[in-house]
Structure 1
Amino acid sequence: MSDDSFIREVNQELRQDQAKALWDRFGPITIAIAVGVVLVTAAWVAWDYWTQTQANSSGDAYSQALSLAREGRTDEATAALEQLEADGHGAYPVLARMRGATVLAQAGDYEGAVAAFDNVASDSSVPGSIRDMAKLRAGLLLVDHGSYEDVSARVEALAVETNTLRHSAREALALSAWKQGRTEDAATLFNQIIDDEGAPQNMRQRAELMSELIRGSGSSS
């Protein structure tokens, strides 16, 4: 046997011995990590499947409740939405609360609808954007079924420049002020809508019509 062959055999045996030593030391840990990764992955896949299934089920229940509401079956729609609020998944419980308040308003229960929207608006667990929408919806109802102070209590904070709902909030305040004879306040608010380039075109047109009506009545300079 040549020296080169002997050296290669010795090196090979040394590598095998080193590999065996490494496996003896780290092999069980490697296996444990691999098994852990598989188990975690399997658990995540199962959880994702379960949540998707539950969300799909909640979506079907929500659609059914909407159908009941459209058919005028108010009591059944309300019961279905309350059930979804109690055991729904994902965003559907909050959507059910909002829709439930709308169903009450459509049925003529404005006091109950405002209370329901107020309940959503005061719930800190609900996303801020939905809480703001609940305030606006309550304020819009109160334009016809409450006082200016009632409307202001809900939407005044939404009428600031940085809020995306400011246009609708200002319109609610302006209409409420106009209905209560506060024409100067109404004119100011309608002008804010007109001057805001970010306001929707149809809303600016309504504000212009109302401003002309106020000026034509001689109630505001």
Structure 2
Amino acid sequence: MASHLDLEEQEQLEELKAFWKRYGNLITWVLTLALAAYAGWTGWNYWQQQQAVKAAAMFDELERVAKAGELDKLNGLFSELKQRYPGTAYAAQAALLTAKLQHEKAQADAARATLGWVAENASEPPYRDIARLRLAGLQTEAKQYDEAAKTLDAVKSSELAALVADRRGDLALAQGKPDQAKAEFLKAYAGIEKTQNYRILIEAKLASLGVAVPDADKATAQGASQ
């Protein structure tokens, strides 16, 4: 009996040896690649986390400088953040904040350039579309009407459709096209929730063009602002 078992074990051992001889190298490579991929993925996540931590620290300082209105320091910090951590959300947030102060300080060209960078390079689509909305407004102010229209065409988020219509209304009004402006403002008004205070601003634009919104909508919007 023992001899029979020994023979079976010997046969199984020979089969295992044959199998390993045939597939051993392949199995070894597969395991090696799997371990390397896991190590790479873990290392990438760690690197990303470290990048985010460092970018967050820089953004905190940038935010403090922005609140103080120190534009020169803000420009320097943003330039450094953009260069070192361009793929982080903090870089996009910093750009939007920088563009806001640049515009307030009458640096319109710099503000448009900063927003243009976000529109092209932000890692997340919402930041790109927000930047395009703001950029279109500045382009309209600068009478860059064709550029503003192209910028608005690039906004793809359906959630921003009403705000895009509002910007298109501003653009049409600046171009001396009141009928087109009315249509866009009405579209914007209809697309914004009745509880949003922004509706009151659009209502004022419509009123300046001789268009009155329904009383029910007006009452709802006014109630939300109180």
Please report the TM-score for the alignment, with normalisation by the length of structure 1: 0.72
Q: Which amino acid aligns with 1:203?
A: Y
1:8-157 to 2 correspondences below 5 Å: 8-27=5-24, 30-31=27-28, 33-91=30-88, 92-121=90-119, 123=120, 129-142=126-139, 145-147=141-143, 149=145, 152-154=148-150, 156-157=152-153
Change (3 A) 1:14 1:189: closer
Compare CA radii of gyration and give the structure with the larger one. Answer: 1
For the 8 Å contact 1:104–1:110, the answer to whether it is kept is yes
Q: Which amino acid aligns with 1:90?
A: G
Aligned residues: 208
Q: Which moved more, 1:202-211 or 1:67-76?
A: 202-211
In structure 2, distance between residues paired with 1:24 and 1:152: 68
Change (3 A) 1:184 1:124: same
Paired-residue identity, %: 21
Change (3 A) 1:36 1:138: closer
Please list every run of 5 or more consecutive structure 1 residues that lacks an aligned counterpart in the other structure: 217-221
Deviations, residues 96-131 of structure 1 (Å, cap 9, x unaligned): 43333223113221232123323544x378665544
TM superposition shift of 1:57: 0.7
For the 8 Å contact 1:97–1:120, the answer to whether it is kept is yes
Q: Which amino acid aligns with 1:106?
A: E
In structure 1, distance between residues paired with 2:117 and 2:14: 71
Q: Are residue 204 (structure 1) and residue 182 (structure 2) matched?
A: no
Deviations, residues 121-151 of structure 1 (Å, cap 9, x unaligned): 4x378665544332210222355x3338368
TM superposition shift of 1:85: 0.7
TM superposition shift of 1:181: 5.9
Please list every run of 5 or more consecutive structure 2 residues that lacks an aligned counterpart in the other structure: 212-226
Change (3 A) 1:153 1:118: farther
For the 8 Å contact 2:135–2:148, the answer to whether it is kept is no
Deviations, residues 29-75 of structure 1 (Å, cap 9, x unaligned): 54554444434433332232122112211122122211111121221
In structure 2, distance between residues paired with 1:187 and 1:23: 77
Please report the TM-score for the alignment, with normalisation by the length of structure 2: 0.70
Q: Which amino acid aligns with 1:98?
A: L
In structure 1, distance between residues paired with 2:206 and 2:52: 47
Q: C-alpha root-mean-square deviation of aligned residues, in Å?
A: 3.5
